[in-house]
Amino acid sequence: MPLLKNEAIIKELYTRVEGEDTLPDRGAVLVDLARWQADRSALIARGSEIGVRLTSAEAPEAIADDLSQLSLVALEFPAFTDGRAYSYARLLRERYGFQGEVRAVGDVLLEQLHFMHRSGFDCFEFSSDQPEEDWIIAQADMKVWYQPTGDKRPTATQLRRR
Amino acid sequence: MYEYDEFDADFVNQRALQFGRQVESRLSGKLSEDQFRPIRLMNGLYLQLHAYMLRVNVPYGCLNSAQMRKLAHIARVYDKDYGHLTTRQNMQFNWIKLSDMPEILLELASVEMHGIQSSGNCIRNITADEYAGVAAEEIEDPRVYCELLRQWSSLHPEFSFLPRKFKIAVTGSEKDRAVVKAHDIGLRLHRNENGEEGFEVFVGGGLGRTPFIGKSIRAFLPTEHVLSYCEAILRVYNQLGRRDNKYKARIKILVHEMGSEAFSELVEKEWAEIKQGALALPQAEIERVREFFAPPAYEALPEEDPDFEAQRKAEPGFALWARQQLAAHKRAGYAIVNVSCSPVGKPPGDISSAQMEGFADLADTYNFGEMRVTHNQNLVLTDVRKRDLFDLWKKLVALGLATANHGLIGDTICCPGLDYCALATARSIPLAEKISERFADPERQAEIGEIYLNMSGCINACGHHHVGNIGIVGVDKKNTELYQLMLGGSAEEDASLGKILGPGFDEDGIVDAVETVINIYIDMREPNEKFIETYRRLGPEPFKDRLYGAPA
């Protein structure tokens, strides 16, 4: 699945370790919440970057105190209609101040990219045959925003006051 | 009323162009129907029994004459020459072609209109008291906050894929014409003991399959916090609302299951984190928006107009209409005019393109070019000089818009039902027509007095049957359409849910049953007692006994 970040395709740096699977000898890993909570010390001791993947039923409060140890949080969209991760992304950025990568995974489609980006996602794992072009389309769709979010796009209200 | 600036205009235009792209993607097969469905819904486009239906937002019910003429144009060019007023104060068109949609959205954008979020699992059109700004007993004009909420909720990135649809209503009067307690969030604008403006906040009200009256979770919310408080409520709901069962996904179920106190605690905790953030409304922003709703150029007039008095004496039809359709205005010499779109024997809320255009002309001549849509599927002219009422009435008669049944049994709320709707289990419009024919005599309606009859063609309750004094809901029993009767609902400040009286009736039987209920009420009422008061005094027994036979 192509990964899009900062308007370009990037290479996957993380090895996905599902459930109780063995950790690779070295390199960045992406683990589930349960694995992180069970093997926290061992994962940190590896000295490589750590990502945690949350299901849409797992709120980021569970890792709020751990974020300094993490470089990636992946938030799942089991279906594009399940919008819980929009709130999770905003909480990660705006409440917990997470500066690492917030990645959208699962049912990630062009039509939702803009909302995701506004909510704080900066990396998208989505099944398009032309992800970069889709990104341009999604960004071109909207140029006026009413809601202040952590993305710093100026809102209509802020622009009116200038 | 509010006027778009460059930002609002760009926003709506972009959205129309974006939808054009999305329709192309759908037609070319790049988007599947499953992927396209939420997109079209969020632009107000439903697929109904026979065709696409487009629901156009009328923000908190306020329309100007240019917008009404554009709606008439759309009805004539793209539909079957009529539109339908809805219980969210919107107008919907029932016979739209998908390929016409991009053009229609651009037409709407040219008069500052759109269908954004008139459907879908997002924040729907904000509704308000249709007398906002003019009601004699109003405390504060709610439209200022409706507009601020409209902007905040428009394509909210966090709240566009909620567990289910989300409806907000705002009132600024003691008398609740906005049904705030039957909404996901209901806001009641009032003043505290220090004279400061604020909201009482209700959550978790709603009708549908599982009706609830909203719970008050905050007695006083300073107005500058209205956006942050709503954001806190939505954030709790977006994370915790049920997503496993769409019939249990509304916020009312969450509030009911966890209890309003526990829910309120979560909201307060979330709100404490964000209340001082970017959503806090500076007074200057509130005042900027308030200017759009400044009163029009009223004349200084005496309270009573001698010609109006004389015309009423001379013309009984006018007297009847004036008695029924007018409401008290805060300015001397002016009246609020209710215009019924539920004539005898016709579908409640339907309005032809010729009526729309004629009505737009009347708004220009008599009402500063503006008008309102009500959740009762009627229209209102808010600012008519009493001395113009007679001329206005004559022109309304010519347009077929002078039915005198405001607040009477002929003025029903009715969903589209099985004639249009893919969800319905029974027809509702033909039944509304039959009932209005049975009670067609205006003298009889006036004798019955204030009563609200609401009907829905299925349990989803788009016709608000739970909060009708008399409610009717269509059900399908072994391929026969049956109608259940409920009594005791109220949509006002004393909101209550009706209770089903007993087994259902067939179409003729339900009309007879309604008449029986009315006759019992007339026999048993105390002087000046409204139907709902009599019902609350007597309970359901006398009605049950007569309809189903007294227990042995």
Return d(Cα B284, Cα B303) in angstroms, integer. Answer: 35
Q: What is the DSSP string of B204-225?
A: S-B-TTS-BPPEEEEEEEEGGG
- Closest residue in B to A96 (Cα) is B273
Is B14 in contact with A143 (Cβ distance < 8 A)?
yes
Taken as a whole, chain B contains a residue count of: 552
Is A141 in contact with B18 (Cβ distance < 8 A)?
yes
Mutation site for B-interface testing, chosen from A147, A149, A158, A160 by largest number of B Cβ within 10 Å: A147
Rounded average pLDDT over B287-291: 96
Structure tokens at A40: 């926290």
Task: Calculate the average pLDDT of chain B.
Answer: 95
Mutation site for B-interface testing, chosen from A54, A157, A160, A161 by largest number of B Cβ within 10 Å: A157
Residue B485: its H or E element = strand B480-487
Tell me: pLDDT of B551 over 70. no
How does residue B552 score in pLDDT terms, banded at 50, 70 and 90? Answer: low
Give the dihedral sign, CA B458/B463/B467/B469.
negative
Q: What is the pLDDT of residues B159-170, one digit of tens each?
A: 999 999 999 999
Tell me: pLDDT of B478 over 90. no
Per-residue CA distances from A39 to A52, A59, A66, B532 (Å): 12, 19, 13, 65
Is A81 in contact with B121 (Cβ distance < 8 A)?
yes
Tell me: pLDDT of B254 over 70. yes
- Name the phi and psi angles at B494, rounded to 5: -100, 35
Separate counts of helices (H) and strands (E) for chain B: 18, 20
Structure tokens at A22: 């063995």
pLDDT at B138: 94
Per-residue CA distances from B389 to B296, B309, B372, B394 (Å): 18, 11, 17, 9
Burial of A22 (0-12, 13-18, 19+ CB in 10 A): exposed
Return d(Cα B190, Cα B219) in angstroms, integer. Answer: 10
Q: What is the pLDDT of residues A16-54, one digit of tens each?
A: 999 999 999 999 999 999 999 999 999 999 999 999 999
CB contact at 8 A, B111 and B382: no
Domain at A3-161, CATH class: alpha beta
- Name the phi and psi angles at B94, rounded to 5: -100, -5
- Name the phi and psi angles at A52, rounded to 5: -120, 135
Q: What is the pLDDT of residues B37-95, one digit of tens each?
A: 888 998 999 988 888 999 999 999 999 999 999 999 999 999 999 999 999 999 999 99
Domains and CATH numbers, chain B: 6-109 (3.90.480.20), 134-290 (3.30.413.10), 306-399 (3.90.480.20), 413-548 (3.30.413.10)
CB contact at 8 A, B178 and B497: no
Question: How many angstroms away from the CA of B11 is the closest CA of chain A?
Answer: 5
Q: Which residues pair with A91 in a beta bridge?
A: none
- Which is higher by pLDDT, A118 or B33? A118
pLDDT at B480: 87
Q: What is the DSSP string of B226-278?
A: HHHHHHHHHHHHHHHS--S-GGG-SHHHHHHHH-HHHHHHHHHHHHHHHTTST
Mutation site for B-interface testing, chosen from A56, A77, A86 by largest number of B Cβ within 10 Å: A86
Return d(Cα A93, Cα A115) in angstroms, integer. Answer: 15
Per-residue CA distances from B434 to B14, B58, B73, B468, B515 (Å): 45, 29, 31, 18, 12
**Cα atoms in the Cβ-side hemisphere of radius 13 Å centred on B393:** 25
Q: Nearest Cα to B8, choosing from A118, A149, A143?
A: A143
Tell me: pLDDT of B490 over 90. yes
Spans of chain A, pLDDT less than 50: none
Q: Which residues pair with B221 in a beta bridge?
A: B199
* ipTM tops 0.85: yes
Which B residues in the span 121-140 are in contact with A, Cβ-Cβ below 8 Å? Answer: 121
Rounded average pLDDT over B350-379: 97
pLDDT at A126: 87
Is A114 in contact with B22 (Cβ distance < 8 A)?
no
Least CB-CB distance to B158: which of A86, A111, A155? A86
Structure tokens at B215: 């719970």
Return d(Cα B24, Cα A128) in angstroms, integer. Answer: 17
Q: Nearest Cα to B385, choosing from B398, B366, B404?
A: B366
Task: Kindly list the residues from chain B whose CB atom is less than 8 angstroms away from the CB atom of residue A119.
Answer: 157-158
Task: Kindly list the residues from chain A whose CB atom is less than 8 angstroms away from the CB atom of residue B156.
Answer: 146-147
Task: Kindly list the residues from chain B whose CB atom is less than 8 angstroms away from the CB atom of residue A95.
Answer: 273
Q: Which stretches within A107-155 are classed as H helix?
A: 110-119, 131-141
Q: Nearest Cα to B517, choosing from B506, B496, B502?
A: B502
Question: How many angstroms away from the CA of A74 is the closest CA of chain B?
Answer: 17
Least confident stretch, B33-42, B235-244, B449-458, B508-517: B33-42
